[in-house]
Structure 1
Amino acid sequence: MASVLEKRERKKFLDDTIPLIPTITTHRMEVAGKQSHAAYVVRVQRGQNPEDSWEVSHRYNNFYALYQTLQVSNIPLDIPSKKMFGNTDRQFLNDRQQGLQKFLDQVMAAPVLRRHFEVKKFLDPTNYSLSFHEDALRNASMFFRSEPTWSVVEPLKDIGWRIRKQYYVIASKTDHRLPKHMLSWCEPGPDSSLGEKEMEACFRVMTDLRHPYILSPVLANYTGGGMMIVRELMPSGSLRDTIYGQRFQGSVLQKYGQPARSRALSLPDIAKYGRQVLEALVFLSEKGFPLGQVHAGNVLLDRGTCKLVDIENSLVGVPSLHRHHLIDIRRIHSHEAETVYSFGHMLYEMCMGQELKTATLDSVPESLPAGVVPILQRVLTSNGIKDNFPSLSNLLDDVFFSTVSLPPTGGKPLMKVSSKLKEVLKEHISKMELRLHEEQKKVSQLKRLSKAQESLMSEEEKRKRRKLRKKQLSLQETSEPESYPTTKALPRQNTIGTSGVTASTAVRSKANSAPPPASQSSSTQPAASTTSSTAKTKKSSATPKAPPPPTATPPAPQVDRPPPTEKRGALLGSIEGFTKGKLKKVKTKDRSAPKV
């Protein structure tokens, strides 16, 4: 039972924003019953950590089923065609493997596709095999038990990008004149650190919140399993629905894939909507409340007025839409800077009619309005993030937004946050920032390691290392006889000395000074003892006459050795400079005789 609970906890706190990187490594034949089929082994890596990887095996039919599911997005995808006969040929399987890899690359290049549940389930069936919709409906039924006046009108499946967040349209049973509401259920995320009491206090603040550009929840409830929020339903949908010309009830693939009615907003609307969102964000920041995770899907439109929603996402600890980009940008490490960066992506989407697929805006499109270009250069370009990154107040004071005249609102914004709750929220924000900083540091280390391995494995580096190794060997061979002379390198008759006559020459001259004995059979053998000289003389008379003694060999030429240096070592220099005459005479006293 404990293993099951641990498994569920691991799934609950998984960061769904980290992209999966699939690579088809090989194909193999598998047998099922009496039939065999080809299966393709896909190695999947989560993010940039090579240790967080696994393998899954899929048949061609599984790839084709995924292809048909994603066709509703209208994004062009290529997949190898089916073949009835000869589909087990080696060359055919190799060609099909390359075609399937191209298909996976196209899927992962489209943000709306790589975030979808079906793609996650195809690549990671262990963590995405559960039915999140049924799980959410089971938890929503508990709400209807405590609130019997509400009933479910219809479920809104797949209307948002979050996999672990489900939506339902609900209505009042007693008063049909009341407008319809939307109920959302969301599981906690990896940044969840608040307890139930702290969450209940935050929800009371949210329900009492009054601001013209924030849509407060009507009801809010939190348990250990997740968060339930009820808000008024906005039939016009979100800002993203307006950009793509879609209704809010449609599937996320159908709405935001590649619709034909996608268009950029007018410049006055961009300035007005941006000003309204910034007003809401600055208000929350001044109150010490965690900022909502800003993107075009979290901004609803109500008769031309923006309403910021889902400000509770930071409380429950779910990651933001652009977190996988923030991991690669170490300059953005605070909660407010993360919000400014997300606002820049939303501003780009309003101007261009589509999402920015890269982390930074390296080249500014010509179709961007002139008034927006300086803002995006400060928020989204690499140089702007490094040198001139603005705050929320700086953006609000920008000429593009400050010159917008907003209509008068009904009343003064109201939000009561106690000092004790502010301290709790401040600690919660610091924990989120710490986790972001740690992941940025880890990714930076992995990048450096990967870059070092690539440079070591490159052909140019291999050639450089081979040349350097050869050069070191040649230098070692040339310097070894000069720097470290050994006795093997010198002639055998030469030994260390300074008198000019070697030891072997001295021994030979001493032997030549005395006549050799008659019994000596060779010049190298010593003379026999006097006790056995007679016997040996008789014996040698029978043998042939011994050859004459060898003539004295001239002394060997002295080898010119360079003077001792420090490189040869102190030991070698002391040995070469040794002379017998420098030894001190010592008198010994023999005390071995016994004492009487």
Structure 2
Amino acid sequence: MAFMEQQPQQLTGRKPLLDDTLPLSAVIEATQSLQSHTEYIIRVQRGVSSENSWTVGLPTFCLTIVIRRYSDFDMLNNSLLISGLSLPLPPKKLLGNMEREFIAERQKGLQAYLNYITRHHILSSSEVVKKFLDANNYSSNYTGWRLRKRYFLVKDKAQPKEKLVLSWVDLGPDKFLSDKDLQSAMKLLPNLSHSYIAPVSFATTSESSALIIRGFSEKGTLRDHIYKVKPKEPFLKKYCNPKKIQGLEPEQIRNYGRQILEALKFLHDKGFPYGHLHASNVLLEEDTCKLLEIENSVLGLPSYYRPYVTQFRKINTTESIDVYAFGHLLYEMTYGRPPDSVPVDQWPPAPFSSVGQFHSELKDLFSNGSPFQSGGAGTANTVSVLQSILSTDACKTGMPSVSQLLQTHLFNDVLLFNSEKPQFKISSRLKEALKLSRESLEKRLVEEQRTVCAFILIHQHKRLTRAQSHHGSEEEKRKRKMLARKKSRQSTYEIEEDLSVKCNNNSGGFLFSSLSTIDEKKLTYGQ
């Protein structure tokens, strides 16, 4: 069936650029029963602002009616089964599925299903879920998690044996460079040379999109290596519910982490924003890591971890976003999977003894000083670095810098053998343009963080108000009085029962004492 819902858009000459990392939430507001089936009317909201909400299936304003039946949910569920997750879709029912009680119960089950898939980081970012909730903006087919990005395998006629990947991507909502400055920045990318940054063969832009060509790796990315999967397998199948969970060897973690930090420091020193570090954006060639997609930030594409970052107001710069993302990556390298939630304060058992021995040092580490001090032996280690980035205190107070991470004992003595001299010349004019663009990007992030924090506070206040109102209602007062009376009667009964038992015990003791006295007298008289 056709999906034709339409969102209200601003009447501007240029179509507004969507932030695909903003989470979609969905609420089933009503149902309507036809002759042989039931339709579910769903309100979908992008982010936390109610201005970004629309209704799927409700014939109001200029919105087109779109039907969401149980069969649509079933089709969505079948598409998501490749993830290997156990999804809570209510079961089918052939008879009695038009009864009012059953429809109400199924609506609750479908709402729980929507809550599950919209709160799962990977599922909520997937193409099929976006299409199900917002088909108007997600009508094309994509590869990987990044929507609006297409990949093609190409070859150079001069070198037909060399495989290349051509990526075509629409510009994002964080694009603040002028078209001229953006074109200049993209032309610089093929000239960038660094041991730990994947080279770009060709890069160019148009008014609305960009084209990049780089080498193709048969072995895949660092995430493919961690999860022991093949690069060409479907994204959901590879990463959503990995079967083999095993972290990297401690020495690999140290080497890869040091290489990635060196690449980040180089970009930060050059004033070139990145903000897109994750395991799928790290190419692994033998024992060398190389960053991918360094063009994403200047193209205005939001970060993979943006839904997390918007919750923490201290993570408000591109550098701190990179450090936060490095914490996720370090966790994934250590434990073989991403953290279930952030902040992380309960650490799972370490898979290697060399990592596990660090747990006993954590108490001394944080009682004696900063994990970045270089004096005490054994103070800088994997778990302490993870705590300095992903713990509750770190997310509230702020991230360490890349330079501080390089000074920890986990990375400061790692030997680097690549002797390639980095090269990346940026004109002073373009540096200034990149600086202004970065400031605009950070300003938008801060505004969104304020909105999210305000929404959380309002939501908490509403919950508290509802709880207080419910607690003070006449019905609740009556229930509490009845419960108090019941407890009072029960306690009275227990007291009476205890007194009865004591009386019985005392009377029995008195009788036994009297009989003993009589027997003693009889024995005396018998002598």
TM-score (norm 2): 0.77
* Paired position in structure 2 for 1:13: 17
* Paired position in structure 1 for 2:422: 413
Q: Note the 1:99-114 alignment, pairs <5 A.
A: 99-114=109-124
Query: Is 1:294–1:339's contact at 8 Å kept on the other side of the alignment?
Result: yes
Residue by residue over 1:87-124, the C-alpha shift from the partner in whole angstroms, topping out at 9 and shown as x without a partner, is 21111212222222232233234322111011011112
Matches of 2:172 and 2:389, distance apart in 1: 27
Residue by residue over 1:389-408, the C-alpha shift from the partner in whole angstroms, topping out at 9 and shown as x without a partner, is 31011011111011211223
* Paired position in structure 1 for 2:145: 161
Matches of 2:214 and 2:12, distance apart in 1: 32
Residues 88 and 100 of structure 1: CA distance in aligned 2, closer, same or farther (over 3 Å): same
Matches of 2:386 and 2:403, distance apart in 1: 16
* Paired position in structure 2 for 1:185: 168
Residues 168 and 7 of structure 1: CA distance in aligned 2, closer, same or farther (over 3 Å): farther
* Paired position in structure 2 for 1:219: 202
Shift of 1:273: 0.7
Q: Note the 1:193-592 alignment, pairs <5 A.
A: 193-367=176-350, 369=355, 370=358, 371-387=381-397, 389-409=399-419, 411-459=420-468, 463=472
Query: Is 2:190–2:201's contact at 8 Å kept on the other side of the alignment?
Result: yes
SS at match of 1:400: coil
Matches of 2:303 and 2:449, distance apart in 1: 15
1:79 corresponds to 2:89: yes
Residue by residue over 1:370-407, the C-alpha shift from the partner in whole angstroms, topping out at 9 and shown as x without a partner, is 32111111111121233463101101111101121122
SS at match of 2:289: strand
SS at match of 1:458: helix
1:118 corresponds to 2:122: no
Residue by residue over 1:230-280, the C-alpha shift from the partner in whole angstroms, topping out at 9 and shown as x without a partner, is 001111111111111112112111111213234211111111111101000
Residues 457 and 102 of structure 1: CA distance in aligned 2, closer, same or farther (over 3 Å): closer
Q: Which residue type is aligned with residue 393 of structure 1?
A: S
Query: Is 1:292–1:309's contact at 8 Å kept on the other side of the alignment?
Result: no
Task: Report which stretch shifted further, 340-349 or 59-68.
Answer: 340-349
Shift of 1:56: 2.0
Query: Is 2:324–2:399's contact at 8 Å kept on the other side of the alignment?
Result: no
Shift of 1:5: 9.8
Unpaired runs of 5+ residues, structure 2, are 1-7, 58-67, 359-380, 475-527
Q: Which residue type is aligned with residue 461 of structure 2?
A: A
Query: Is 1:111–1:357's contact at 8 Å kept on the other side of the alignment?
Result: no
* Paired position in structure 1 for 2:377: none
Matches of 1:282 and 1:174, distance apart in 2: 35
Residue by residue over 1:433-456, the C-alpha shift from the partner in whole angstroms, topping out at 9 and shown as x without a partner, is 111111111222222233333333
Shift of 1:460: 5.5
Query: Is 1:18–1:46's contact at 8 Å kept on the other side of the alignment?
Result: yes
Matches of 1:41 and 1:110, distance apart in 2: 22
* Paired position in structure 1 for 2:29: 25
Matches of 1:302 and 1:89, distance apart in 2: 60
Query: Is 1:292–1:312's contact at 8 Å kept on the other side of the alignment?
Result: no
Matches of 2:103 and 2:443, distance apart in 1: 47
Matches of 2:246 and 2:263, distance apart in 1: 25
Q: Which residue type is aligned with residue 263 of structure 1?
A: Q
Query: Is 1:275–1:401's contact at 8 Å kept on the other side of the alignment?
Result: yes
TM-score (norm 1): 0.69
Q: Which residue type is aligned with residue 46 of structure 1?
A: R
Residue by residue over 1:345-369, the C-alpha shift from the partner in whole angstroms, topping out at 9 and shown as x without a partner, is 1111111211224232132223273
Matches of 1:336 and 1:461, distance apart in 2: 46
Residues 8 and 261 of structure 1: CA distance in aligned 2, closer, same or farther (over 3 Å): farther
Runs of 4+ residues over 6 Å off in structure 1: none
Residues 237 and 6 of structure 1: CA distance in aligned 2, closer, same or farther (over 3 Å): farther
Aligned residue pair count: 431
Matches of 2:391 and 2:167, distance apart in 1: 35
Shift of 1:37: 1.8
Matches of 1:184 and 1:357, distance apart in 2: 31
Between structure 1 and structure 2, the one with the greater Rg is 1
Q: Which residue type is aligned with residue 285 of structure 1?
A: H
Task: Report which stretch shifted further, 396-405 or 314-323.
Answer: 396-405
Matches of 1:276 and 1:372, distance apart in 2: 15
Shift of 1:26: 2.8
* Paired position in structure 2 for 1:127: 137
Matches of 2:458 and 2:255, distance apart in 1: 46
* Paired position in structure 1 for 2:71: 61
Matches of 2:239 and 2:213, distance apart in 1: 25
Residues 270 and 208 of structure 1: CA distance in aligned 2, closer, same or farther (over 3 Å): same
Query: Is 2:275–2:321's contact at 8 Å kept on the other side of the alignment?
Result: no
Matches of 2:192 and 2:241, distance apart in 1: 37
Q: Which residue type is aligned with residue 253 of structure 2?
A: I
Shift of 1:44: 2.0
Shift of 1:9: 4.7
Query: Is 1:456–1:462's contact at 8 Å kept on the other side of the alignment?
Result: no
* Paired position in structure 2 for 1:173: 157
Q: Which residue type is aligned with residue 169 of structure 1?
A: L
Shift of 1:462: 6.7
Alignment identity in percent? 38
Query: Is 2:257–2:411's contact at 8 Å kept on the other side of the alignment?
Result: yes
* Paired position in structure 2 for 1:42: 42
Shift of 1:82: 2.1
Residue by residue over 1:134-162, the C-alpha shift from the partner in whole angstroms, topping out at 9 and shown as x without a partner, is xxxxxxxxxxxxxxxxxxxxxxx52x210
Shift of 1:294: 0.5
Matches of 1:52 and 1:199, distance apart in 2: 29
SS at match of 1:64: helix
SS at match of 1:43: strand
Query: Is 1:190–1:317's contact at 8 Å kept on the other side of the alignment?
Result: yes
Query: Is 2:174–2:300's contact at 8 Å kept on the other side of the alignment?
Result: yes
Shift of 1:303: 1.4
SS at match of 2:115: helix
Shift of 1:80: 2.2
Matches of 2:264 and 2:192, distance apart in 1: 14
Residue by residue over 1:330-350, the C-alpha shift from the partner in whole angstroms, topping out at 9 and shown as x without a partner, is 111111111111111111111
Residues 95 and 455 of structure 1: CA distance in aligned 2, closer, same or farther (over 3 Å): closer
